[in-house]
Structure 1
Amino acid sequence: MTYQEAAEHAFGQAVSFDPQILRSYDHDLGEMPRPLMALIQHRPHTVVVARSAADVATALSLAKRYDVPVTPRGQASAGYGGAIPSRGGMVLDLSNCNRILAVDADKNTVDVEPGVVWEDLSRALAPHGLDNRVCPTSAPSSTVGGWFAMGGVGIGSLRYGSIRDSVLEIDVAGLDGAIHTFAGADMEPFHQTCGGLGVITRLRLACRPAEAILPLAVRLPDAAAAARFLETLATTPAAYSASLVNAGYCALRAQAEGHRPAITSGFLVSIALLAPQADTAAIARLASDCGGEVLDDAVAAQEWEGRYYPMRIKKIGPSALVGEFFIPFEGFAATSADLTAALPDDAFGLEAFAVRGGKLAVLVYILDDAKALLYPLRMAKAMIPLRLAARHGGAPYATGMWFSALAKGIYGPDKYERIARLKTARDSRDLLNPGSIGGPWLPFLPIISLSRCILWGTACLAPLAARLSYTRRRATKHPGATA
């Protein structure tokens, strides 16, 4: 029996070899130039739409038997290449593994399949008096399993940390078709590795009581003041979530939506407090001590209600280069100043989320056009924020395929070595999401990974790219771009 015959026998209409369908699975949210994509086999040969853990186990057994690479995929709502094939093969679509399996209101936990969407989970938990501890800004589309596989932080991270801090237990399917349960430290290798060691089929999450949220908005005069404010806010008992945007981001968003920007200089901090414990007078005093002020309630409500739509600014791009990194509070002001100096001619915005432990997850959006002739050169700008942040104690946000060469710095040496040992033991032929751990090898030079080539190339091109500002439909130069 051939591979295609075996797949059709096992999955029937849930498997496809149709070129039109395969084309829709060869990319993610990122916009990579065609010459770069041509270096990998990014279009799968097969798509299997799994509907259960048993389907996942069967698909992996089939992949092992016929030596077929497998790329797990949720909603592909990230842009790091973690859900893109690098050697063709099978895409295992987990979006239909979307059942909420059990809610334990006494223990504040929920068991879910990996394809459950965060916003749907929040609605399902509400009748039980529970809600998500953390969730991404892409909650209307992002899946629980996908966010764990990428290692996300976002809304709620000021109080609860990363997604890893809220996952209590996982089930993982391997190439042998067996499903094993992991908890505690045993889960660690499966966090951030994009399915490179196995496919997650169930997660148990810790939830929070569904307390009312009180939003506040505060304007701070500069990055140093914003960092001081967040550092103290993190010790406030009622603090649940905090994000900040610079005036440049507010200007771009206002242009995209057709209204006046909320601020024209400095930083806007959007705060979510647990209403029963909220002390707004204390927050106002803290803002004043940092040289800032509490803004109108309407601004606070607008920021909180719009928390799930950060990419609205792409409307005026029509694309955006994104640089994403972690930075300690104490390194934020210097990094912000360096960004202003490094990108003086670009319309860009900065958004950040405060994370428990005294750091920020920062996204820098640089407007561009993925179809423009010089876009492949200007892409090097996306690495400029990461390199500037590294000078001040920062680190890359995630790996995926494109940044897998930075994995040791992201995971830490101990975790990296553990992952490498497990990869050899569980997947010696590199069938599980090849390229997500170590990076895919260049077809014409198989001793160098594509990820390493990207890092070297962007380092060389960054000085030139910084001088190639995108001008067509560019936003009007705005005051306080990163002040």
Structure 2
Amino acid sequence: MDAQTVEQVKSIFGNRATTDDFERSFYERDLAPIPDFLVKPLAHTLPDIVVRPQTTEEVACLVKLAKEQKVAVTTRAGGSTVYFNAVCTQNGIILDINGVNGLTAVDAENRVVRVGAGMTWWELERRLEPFGLATCSYPSSAQAATIGGWLVMMGYGIGSLQYGPVMDQVVAAQVVLPDGSNKKLDKTSKPPLTWFAASEGTLGIVMEVELKVRSKPETEWHNVAVFENAGQMQTFIEEAVELKNKPFNLHFSDPGCNSRRQRLGLAGSQSGEAYTVAFDADGSAEETQTARLAFKRCLQAAKGGELGETEGNQEWRHRFYSLVLKREGPSLLGAEICLPILKLADYLAAVAAFGDKQKLKINSYGHIISPQYAMIMTMFNADERDTVGYLQGLALVKKLHDIGARHGGVPYGIGLWNTPYLSRCQTNQELAELKRRKQLLDPHNIMNPGKRYEAPLLLKPPLFAVGMDVLAATRWVYRGGRNQP
């Protein structure tokens, strides 16, 4: 980005545009502590300038300028993923939209709201409360994840079992396209809004979202089912997802994860060596009473026990704190996989066998996101200060993705680091269609380039697979001193 363009942006945005080295450095990473020597050969992550717009008109003006100068634009808000979805790879402009966060309209009668894309889901939930409304679903990272960010990630999370992915709740969105035009898109517009779900910021910048919400539930009910083995847990989940009135949320954990949670004061003593499923229901008093009875039937079918409402309420209060498990770290590595529920027990058995072989404690937890699929996070301790050990850990993440693929699973999110798995996520025909959309809307490739559609050379599947296999094999020679639990 040339100096003249930088100065032009500064003249427009004043102190809301910065080239300060210290401030820009915060935008070079997300939640993933990847060592620089791995990042730098693949991406130029330091933005030339960081801009904090406040209106859609400002964003449209900036994008027009970027198009004219062929400067990369990467949109960032919460930065709450680990795949570099919102980290630039070709320098350019970081567009920080956290300031675009107003609740601009509330239609309580029809239960539709209009909200700035930079607002977090938890802030929206709080803002809706005085109107007697609540969000239909939200991510487990709701305190950091934003409305627009979750939409372009095709968000699944808490509440998705009952209400579907976030795209099912979006009515329309105001989007700045790569040519600088500002359009209101819906499911029938050209381009349709559905193109932007899971686009990860590569097709345009979502500025405002019209979203379906629901009436605030009158009552809640929470309990935790407990099982001796993963097969029983899977049976319980299979029964629960078939209920006519599905629970709002089902969250499951394996014994290793529960032991960690117990040591950190997030779980009671009874769950330490067990498989558990948190069963969360809400609605009218009649609906929650129906849920209590349904819980008992599912429990009986799976031959499980229960930890009670006190434990259920505690787990519900801690629903945003899963990553607190990294306190035993200093960090974590893992794979987030969308997996068929029918393969859940087999997957967990395969992961346990892999962990035993590697002499590594691996833990898993997740949410049920539809009657067919679970979103599962499988993780282990790591330490980025131990360079060799951390590299070996990244190789083991690849092995976890391979186990997931053998059981019908696919990675959740692509960004940069999951591009080696593109062929698992889409067929050749589907990927060709995604590339066609990118070429149609963004022929100069200025919008979040280097992500989503193609792996860079060092992450090409054949080279990546060989490199990761070699690194994994070195664990038999060197196991490090810091990355073991």
| TM-score normalised according to structure 1 size | 0.92
Paired residues of 1:403 and 1:451 also in contact (CA < 8 A): no
Q: 1:256 aligns with which of 264, 272, 284?
A: 264
The question of 1:316 aligning with 2:328 is answered yes
The question of 1:247 aligning with 2:261 is answered no
The question of 1:458 aligning with 2:468 is answered yes
- Please give the residue correspondences for 1:73-84 in structure 2 after superposition, counting only pairs within 5 Å: 73-84=76-87
Q: 1:101 aligns with which of 89, 100, 104?
A: 104
User: For residue 445 of structure 1, what is the aligned residue in structure 2?
Assistant: none
| 1:460 Cα deviation from its structure 2 partner | 4.5
Structure 2 vs 1, CA of residues 27 and 168 (structure 1 numbering), >3 Å: closer, same or farther? Answer: same
Q: Higher relative CO (CA 8 A, sep ≥ 6), structure 1 or 2?
A: 1
Give the 3-state SS of the residue equivalent to 2:208 in structure 1: strand
Paired residues of 2:90 and 2:449 also in contact (CA < 8 A): yes
The question of 1:145 aligning with 2:160 is answered no
The question of 1:377 aligning with 2:379 is answered no
- Please give the residue correspondences for 1:179-218 in structure 2 after superposition, counting only pairs within 5 Å: 179-184=182-187, 186-211=192-217, 212-218=219-225
Q: Structure 1 vs Structure 2: percent identity of aligned residues? A: 25
Give the 3-state SS of the residue equivalent to 1:430 in structure 2: coil
User: For residue 308 of structure 2, what is the aligned residue in structure 1?
Assistant: 296
The question of 1:362 aligning with 2:376 is answered yes
User: For residue 134 of structure 2, what is the aligned residue in structure 1?
Assistant: 131
Paired residues of 1:189 and 1:418 also in contact (CA < 8 A): no
User: For residue 37 of structure 1, what is the aligned residue in structure 2?
Assistant: 39
Structure 2 vs 1, CA of residues 209 and 137 (structure 1 numbering), >3 Å: closer, same or farther? Answer: same
Paired residues of 2:391 and 2:471 also in contact (CA < 8 A): no
Of 113-122 and 55-64, deviating more is 55-64
User: For residue 226 of structure 1, what is the aligned residue in structure 2?
Assistant: 233
User: For residue 346 of structure 1, what is the aligned residue in structure 2?
Assistant: 360
Of 74-83 and 366-375, deviating more is 366-375
Q: In the aligned structure 2, how far is the partner of 1:259 from the partner of 1:267?
A: 12
Structure 2 vs 1, CA of residues 151 and 453 (structure 1 numbering), >3 Å: closer, same or farther? Answer: farther
Structure 2 vs 1, CA of residues 328 and 238 (structure 1 numbering), >3 Å: closer, same or farther? Answer: closer
| 1:470 Cα deviation from its structure 2 partner | 6.4
| 1:275 Cα deviation from its structure 2 partner | 4.4
Give the 3-state SS of the residue equivalent to 2:28 in structure 1: coil
| 1:32 Cα deviation from its structure 2 partner | 1.2
User: For residue 48 of structure 1, what is the aligned residue in structure 2?
Assistant: 51
AA paired with 1:153?
A: Y
The question of 1:114 aligning with 2:122 is answered no
User: For residue 58 of structure 1, what is the aligned residue in structure 2?
Assistant: 61
Paired residues of 2:352 and 2:362 also in contact (CA < 8 A): no
Q: In the aligned structure 1, how far is the partner of 2:64 from the partner of 2:253?
A: 47
| 1:471 Cα deviation from its structure 2 partner | 5.5
Corresponding pairs, count? 470
Structure 2 vs 1, CA of residues 259 and 183 (structure 1 numbering), >3 Å: closer, same or farther? Answer: closer
| TM-score normalised according to structure 2 size | 0.91
AA paired with 1:202?
A: E
Structure 2 vs 1, CA of residues 55 and 408 (structure 1 numbering), >3 Å: closer, same or farther? Answer: farther
| 1:415 Cα deviation from its structure 2 partner | 4.4
Of 178-187 and 9-18, deviating more is 178-187
Q: In the aligned structure 2, how far is the partner of 1:467 from the partner of 1:206?
A: 55
Give the 3-state SS of the residue equivalent to 1:77 in structure 2: coil
| 1:426 Cα deviation from its structure 2 partner | 2.0
Q: Deviations over 1:84-138 (max 9, x none)?
A: 1111111110111111121111221111111010100001111222111111111
Structure 2 vs 1, CA of residues 451 and 145 (structure 1 numbering), >3 Å: closer, same or farther? Answer: farther
Structure 2 vs 1, CA of residues 103 and 178 (structure 1 numbering), >3 Å: closer, same or farther? Answer: same
Give the 3-state SS of the residue equivalent to 1:321 in structure 2: strand
Q: In the aligned structure 1, how far is the partner of 2:341 from the partner of 2:266?
A: 33
User: For residue 403 of structure 2, what is the aligned residue in structure 1?
Assistant: 388
Structure 2 vs 1, CA of residues 259 and 402 (structure 1 numbering), >3 Å: closer, same or farther? Answer: closer
Q: Deviations over 1:255-294 (max 9, x none)?
A: 2348754413331111111242123133123212202112
Q: In the aligned structure 1, how far is the partner of 2:402 from the partner of 2:471?
A: 13
AA paired with 2:399?
A: I
AA paired with 1:379?
A: L
| 1:451 Cα deviation from its structure 2 partner | 7.6
User: For residue 14 of structure 1, what is the aligned residue in structure 2?
Assistant: 16
| 1:234 Cα deviation from its structure 2 partner | 1.4
Paired residues of 2:420 and 2:464 also in contact (CA < 8 A): no
Q: In the aligned structure 1, how far is the partner of 2:73 from the partner of 2:208?
A: 18
Structure 2 vs 1, CA of residues 78 and 467 (structure 1 numbering), >3 Å: closer, same or farther? Answer: farther
Q: In the aligned structure 1, how far is the partner of 2:55 from the partner of 2:177?
A: 15
Q: In the aligned structure 2, how far is the partner of 1:75 from the partner of 1:466?
A: 39
| 1:16 Cα deviation from its structure 2 partner | 0.6
Q: 1:281 aligns with which of 254, 269, 293?
A: 293
User: For residue 4 of structure 1, what is the aligned residue in structure 2?
Assistant: 6
| 1:253 Cα deviation from its structure 2 partner | 2.1
Q: 1:165 aligns with which of 168, 192, 200?
A: 168
Give the 3-state SS of the residue equivalent to 1:424 in structure 2: helix
Paired residues of 1:28 and 1:78 also in contact (CA < 8 A): yes
Give the 3-state SS of the residue equivalent to 2:148 in structure 1: helix
In structure 2, the gaps of 5 or more residues are none
Of 262-271 and 142-151, deviating more is 262-271
Q: In the aligned structure 2, how far is the partner of 1:415 from the partner of 1:170?
A: 24
In structure 1, the gaps of 5 or more residues are 443-447, 476-483
Structure 2 vs 1, CA of residues 217 and 323 (structure 1 numbering), >3 Å: closer, same or farther? Answer: same
Of 94-103 and 168-177, deviating more is 168-177
Structure 2 vs 1, CA of residues 67 and 238 (structure 1 numbering), >3 Å: closer, same or farther? Answer: closer
Give the 3-state SS of the residue equivalent to 1:25 in structure 2: helix
User: For residue 480 of structure 1, what is the aligned residue in structure 2?
Assistant: none
Paired residues of 1:247 and 1:267 also in contact (CA < 8 A): yes
| 1:175 Cα deviation from its structure 2 partner | 2.6
Q: In the aligned structure 1, how far is the partner of 2:466 from the partner of 2:102?
A: 43
| 1:414 Cα deviation from its structure 2 partner | 5.2
Structure 2 vs 1, CA of residues 380 and 467 (structure 1 numbering), >3 Å: closer, same or farther? Answer: farther
Root-mean-square deviation (CA), in Å? Answer: 2.2
